[in-house]
A and B are shown apart, each in its own frame.
Chain A
């Protein structure tokens, strides 16, 4: 996809003709010597790293994915589930852009549910409980099929950086075993591994993820790079042995009869589906937690990092909502061939003895045996405001950060950043402009814009309420929004392209027909003097496109592509609301089109307070629209900035 000329100039001894590369068999370790060179290195093989590495490889770049443990690629370290409200949207978008997460989840999902179906289609969101082991095995298989991708098990000791100050650039990484790997582009996706510190009650130990060793050397170096970083905290609940649970005491929660897949490429989910179960804490549970609250590292002051408020530990819930008599918990099997059960809703860092008592206080869990205790983990995250919208560190050329290290939480948020960082690493290698999604194009755009503009005081999770243009950002049209970009970039496989183009052609054909054909009154039971077009009829509250299914099929001469009718129904039924939102999009675009030159000295603008100038300098917004989203920047300051920019444009019309 990308001309390899840049690489060739920098590393003339590397033959960039992929055809002629003799890299041995797929999946085998290449022969690593001091001079080994790649176009892109990805450090960390979690959900962000996998997307980044695969995207780069797919875009034709020689890519290496470096992981501390080959067997734990794409490990689901917390809840073995993909999707959920707003997160399901992210997975759809990853898929529409040619990423892998949706495909993998579809292949290994063991309980699919479409959430929010009592609301309108803009907030429907798919979620799937996944088989944890199969997820990582499937992902590894997918990655190993990529001819341009090498997977290396090693610990990165430090990033190899040349130059000074803002002129720095990355040239590779040094491995702990003494080897070095060269590349002008490095994507760091180390999750919670940097200076990770786990807490279980009073005891603490350093760890990366669930007992894996932390990455301390790299952690120390990232702090030394002069990047601003912060301590965040997250947690996970205990896991139980399913054989020791009295399942008859709980209310079962079944998956959907007709599972909704994540990927536009998946036509059907065929795997065996399981049940989850809903349980409730009791007053006894709350009493145990309250009595032991002083032993919680969250309350004893032992934990410094800030945890997510949307995912509080059970002790937090009990303390903050004392009036709530019971809290819901979900018992979720971790796979088809394991007894391990995830206790969703019981994230905790209480000492083990308290965890045991707390679990036993839940009716049905009296005899449950704990396989692994819950824990809290504190880790280093960088301040993402130091990144561009392309996720590259502003002060170090070629160095990208993606995933949980940027202050987010969730596999989907990580995967999405990984994919965008991969795409932009490839753009960088090819000397092309970064690919930046707008807030009105997808949750992916909102995620990154929020991160680089507002930073993350607590682990950042996506919510639909973060989207100003929620009605446009639906799961049914993620492909319409993003697949054209994937096609342009070369990330879209032939099957997806064919499917997408067929869907769009069908859509156009059906729109023409619905707009121009008057309804058949007998068929719809309407008065004969009332003959609106189908388009107008669809706006009526009682109308639904499913009544026209047979007709539309006949119009097309083939069955409509999955999801097309749903899209059309929304677009006709809520045309008024959608066009209202489109007008707002136009307004946003106009302020986004007002670029702020990179050399603007905010503190020198008369009328802008020092405090606001500092906020602006910290983020260095790229557009006036972005500036207006920085917390604490007032509309007055934006007006002043606007005048100032107008003036400088008049005086120096060449300012870019």
Chain B
């Protein structure tokens, strides 16, 4: 009801947006320590020493390391907000910072509203400002935020995408409510089949919108693409082809690229960082070894890896190792280069055959990249995709409540309880586009059904 839940633990990136050397994620509230402990995979018995910096690992859900970070704990009341606070200094990649915030939210924190840390500090008497000015500033912060949300609501693409989904949900709620409140009228009780036939497309719509977040993030931040392969399969030629310029040095001496080379380009309007890597083969000179190590690192960091094979020569142990490694690293595409030459390669799995030399099939490769990254597919066609983490979280909530509702329908749960799930699904949509009241639902019923004896 009130948007100022002062009891929540809040989280935000507290350094300016964009890439910097270091970015700080800040938590404030009574749950700061347990939440941070989950992000940093610290044991339950971890001893938090106030005001001492320590080194820790930011991990993903599986406990895999994402970043090495410096952590400082401030114990209540000796902190900026007078609450328990934890500051996590990460390497400044926006992706890492955003990820830390997302994980904190999963662990129970709430995304802070702009100015909320200051507001808490002020409300708790931590900072003292001349009163009138303070009110204006604080309220300014709140209203600016709300104004921005409101303008998004009023005309933003996001609300255009959400409005029809919300209408479908309100329709469904009104249908069920009419069946309850006007059961003694000439109103039918909706059948399970009818409920599901309305629920499923709605859920799919919300899910797609939620899925567009990944795309929205790509639009804002772009993605990185590493090109790997053993020496002399034509990685750099491919890199240049994709960039349509001679950026990397290309010779036919194996091992020409001794370090990773990266370049920015755009694909379907999405910024992409192409990374050309040193060819990977077993142990050579120390410089090349270092390059190879960096190639592996690039594969690990990249959003997508292109594993390049030479179609004109047989598959080697190096190729096999590389393919296995790529499979472990995540999203990757296998590209067979030199398709203009007679094929001597026995690789049987799916690959995209191209020729970096002639440019043959390059367009198919671009499309495959776009497809695998979700660019240029369904979302690029549609005007609205979501870019805000807050919206993404709200939509995820909607999906999970609709899933529960679906299960409840199948279990034959009475409608007044089923409606609890639907109202729970409506609330996050309300948070984006404005509240739906009981009167709105009734208005809907009266305009849809002939009610009244």
Interface residues of B in 181-223 (CB under 8 A from A): 181-186, 189
CB-nearest residue of chain A relative to B408? A577
Q: A644–B177 Cα gap in the complex (Å)? A: 37
B163 within 8 A of A: no
Contact of A465 among B119, B139, B177, B186 (CB under 8 A): B177
| Residue interface bits A645-656, CB-to-B below 8 A is 1, else 0 | 011001100000
Q: Which residues of A contact B441 (CB under 8 A)?
A: 465
B2, A628: Cβ atoms under 8 Å?
yes
How far apart are A486's CB and chain B's nearest CB, in angstroms?
27
B180 near A464 with CB under 8 A, answer yes
| Pick from B119, B184, B416: contact of A470, CB under 8 Å | B416
Query: Are B2 and A581 closer than 8 Å at their CB atoms?
Result: no
A330 touches B139 (CB 8 A): no
| In the complex with contacts A309-B446, A640-B142, A647-B415 CB distance below 8 A | no
B131 at the interface (CB under 8 A from A): yes
Q: B3 contacts A320, CB within 8 Å?
A: no
Binds A, one of B64-72, B229-237, B360-368, B431-439: B431-439
CB-CB contacts of A106-131 with B at 8 A, as 1s and 0s? Answer: 00000000011011101100010000
A317 (CB) vs chain B CBs: closest residue: B450
Of A31-39, A53-61, A544-552, A631-639, the segment with at least 4 beta carbons within 8 Å of chain B is: A631-639
> B359 — which chain A residues lie within 8 A by C-beta?
none
Minimal beta-carbon separation of A80 from chain B (angstroms): 13
Within 8 A of A (CB), among B393-426: 411-417, 419-420, 424
Known interface pairs A120-B415, A650-B125; A639-B142 also in contact (CB < 8 Å): yes
**Once the chains are docked, how many angstroms separate the CA of A640 from the CA of B189?**
43
Give the chain A neighbours of B135 by CB distance below 8 A: 606, 643-644, 647
Query: CA of A390 to CA of B434 in the docked complex: distance in angstroms?
Result: 31
A481 adjacent to chain B (CB < 8 Å)? no
Which of B138, B181, B420 touches A581 (beta carbons < 8 Å)? Answer: B420
Do A631 and B439 touch across chains, with their CB atoms under 8 A apart? yes
Q: State the CA gap A614–B1 with chains docked (Å).
A: 21
Chain B residues lying within 8 Å of A274, measured Cβ to Cβ, are none
- Are A85 and B2 neighbours in the complex by a CB distance under 8 Å? no
Measured between beta carbons, the chain B residues less than 8 angstroms from A644 are: 135, 139
Given contacts A119-B414, A606-B136, A646-B123, contact A638 B3 (CB under 8 A): yes
B127 to chain A, nearest CB (A): 12
A301 contacts partner chain B, Cβ-Cβ < 8 Å: no
A466 proximal to B (CB < 8 A): yes
Contact status B139-A85, CB under 8 Å: no
Q: Is B313 an interface residue (CB 8 A)?
A: no
A85 & B180 in contact (Cβ 8 Å cutoff): yes
Cα–Cα distance between A86 and B437 once the two chains are bound (Å): 18
Q: How far, in angstroms, from A308 to B453 measured CA to CA in the complex?
A: 12
Whether, in the assembled complex, B265 has its beta carbon less than 8 Å from a beta carbon of chain A, the answer is no
Q: Please tell me if the beta carbons of B150 and A636 are within 8 angstroms of each other in the complex.
A: yes
Q: Complex formed: what's the CA distance from A587 to B189 in Å? A: 32
Task: Report if A607 contacts B (CB, 8 A).
Answer: yes
Answer yes or no: B154 CB below 8 A from chain A CBs.
no
Mark each residue of chain B from 121 to 139: 1 if its CB lies under 8 Å from any CB of chain A, else 0: 0010100000100111011
Contact status B180-A643, CB under 8 Å: no
Q: B180 to A465, Cβ gap below 8 A?
A: yes
A85 near B138: Cβ-Cβ < 8 Å? no
Do A309 and B180 touch across chains, with their CB atoms under 8 A apart?
A: no
0/1 per residue, A382-415, Cβ < 8 Å to B?
0000000000000000000000000000000000
Q: Are A86 and B181 in contact (CB under 8 A)?
A: yes
The answer to the question of A594 belonging to the interface, with a C-beta cut-off of 8 Å to chain B, is yes
Contact of B453 among A118, A324, A330, A468 (CB under 8 A): A330
On chain A, the residues within 8 Å of B119 by CB distance are: 643
Q: Do residues B123 and A650 form an inter-chain contact, with CB atoms below 8 A?
A: yes
The answer to whether A638 touches B420, judged by C-beta atoms less than 8 angstroms apart, is no
Total inter-chain residue pairs, C-beta < 8 Å: 158
B283 in the interface (beta carbon within 8 A)? no
Q: Are A607 and B143 neighbours in the complex by a CB distance under 8 Å?
A: yes
Interface size class of B (residues with CB under 8 A): 35 or more
Cα distance A647–B142 in the bound complex, in angstroms: 14
A115 proximity list for chain B (CB < 8 A): 183-184
- Alpha-carbon distance between A454 and B438 when the two chains are bound, in angstroms: 12
Rounded to whole angstroms, the CA-CA distance of A345 and B413 in the bound complex is 32
What separation, in Å, do the CA atoms of A654 and B217 have in the docked complex? 49
Chain A residue numbers with a CB within 8 Å of B134 are 647
B412 touches A541 (CB 8 A): yes
Instruction: Give the distance in Å from the alpha carbon of A600 to the alpha carbon of B299 in the complex.
Output: 62
Cβ-defined contact, A574 with B417, below 8 A = yes
Choose from B1, B136, B437 the contact partner of A625 (Cβ within 8 Å).
B1
Interface string of A462-482 (1 = CB under 8 A from B): 011110101100000000000
Chain A, residue nearest B174 (CB)? A465
- CB contacts (< 8 Å) of A580 on chain B: these are 420, 424
The verdict on A312 contacting chain B, using a C-beta distance below 8 Å, is yes
Known A311-B452, A647-B131: A116·B183 in contact at CB below 8 Å: yes
A471–B452 Cα distance when bound, in Å, is 25
Interface assignment of B451: CB less than 8 Å from any CB of chain A: yes
**Least Cβ distance of A466 to chain B in Å?**
5
B2 near A624: Cβ-Cβ < 8 Å: yes
Q: Which residues of B contact A347 (CB under 8 A)?
A: 452
* Residue contact A607 to B2, C-beta cutoff 8 Å: no
Contact A463 B3 (CB under 8 A): no
Cross-chain contact B442 with A465 (CB below 8 angstroms): yes
The reply to whether the CB of A344 lies closer than 8 angstroms to some CB of chain B is yes
A348–B142 Cα distance when bound, in Å, is: 52
CB within 8 Å of A: which B146-164 residues: 146-147, 150
Name the residue of chain B whose CB is nearest to the CB of A332.
B453
Set B1, B147, B183: member contacting A624, Cβ < 8 A: B1
Q: Is A485 an interface residue (CB 8 A)?
A: no
Most central of B182, B189, B420 by chain A CB within 10 Å? B420
B4 at the binding interface (Cβ < 8 Å): yes
| Contact assessment for B183 and A119 in the assembled complex, using a CB-CB cutoff below 8 Å | yes
Beta-carbon contact of B146 and A639 below 8 Å: yes
* Complex CA distance for A588 and B123, rounded to whole angstroms: 22
Q: Residue of B at shortest CB range from A312?
A: B452
B140 at the A interface (CB under 8 A)? yes
Complex Cα gap A396–B446 (Å)? 37
A327/B1 in contact, CB under 8 A: no
Q: Are A328 and B185 in contact (CB under 8 A)?
A: yes
| Known contacts A119-B415, A625-B1, A638-B2, A127 near B181 by CB under 8 Å | no
Give the Cβ gap from B287 to chain A, nearest Cβ, in Å: 60
**Most chain B CB neighbours (cut-off 10 Å) among A471, A580, A640:** A640
Q: Which of A115, A541, A625, A639 has most chain B Cβ within 10 Å?
A: A639
Residue among B182, B189, B416, B419 with most chain A CB within 10 A: B416
Whether B180 contacts A119 by the Cβ 8 Å rule is yes
Choose from B4, B123, B179, B420 the contact partner of A577 (Cβ within 8 Å). Answer: B420
Kindly provide the distance from the CB of B44 to the nearest chain A CB, expressed in whole angstroms.
Answer: 25
B452 to chain A, nearest CB (A): 4
A85 with B183: CB separation less than 8 A: yes
Q: Known: A465-B438, A635-B146. Is A344-B450 also a contact (CB below 8 A)?
A: no
The residues of B that contact A606 with a CB separation of less than 8 Å are: 135-136, 139
Q: Mark A607-635, 1 if CB is under 8 A from B, else 0.
A: 10000000000000000110010010011
Min CB gap A60→B, angstroms: 38
Contact of A635 with B435 in the complex, beta carbons under 8 Å: yes
Residues of B whose CB lies within 8 Å of any CB of A are 1-4, 6, 119, 123, 125, 131, 134-136, 138-140, 142-143, 146-147, 150, 177, 179-186, 189, 411-417, 419-420, 424, 434-435, 437-439, 441-442, 446, 450-453
Interface pairs (11), CB distance under 8 Å: A317-B450, A328-B185, A454-B439, A470-B416, A470-B419, A594-B2, A607-B140, A624-B2, A639-B146, A647-B134, A651-B131
Residues of chain A at the chain B interface (Cβ within 8 Å): 79, 84-86, 115-116, 118-120, 122-123, 127, 308-312, 317, 320-321, 324, 327-330, 344-345, 347, 454, 463-466, 468, 470-471, 541, 574, 577, 580-581, 587-588, 591, 594, 606-607, 624-625, 628, 631, 634-636, 638-640, 642-644, 646-647, 650-651
Q: Ordered nearest first, which 6 A-B pairs have the shortest CB separation?
A: A120-B414, A636-B146, A607-B139, A591-B1, A321-B450, A309-B446
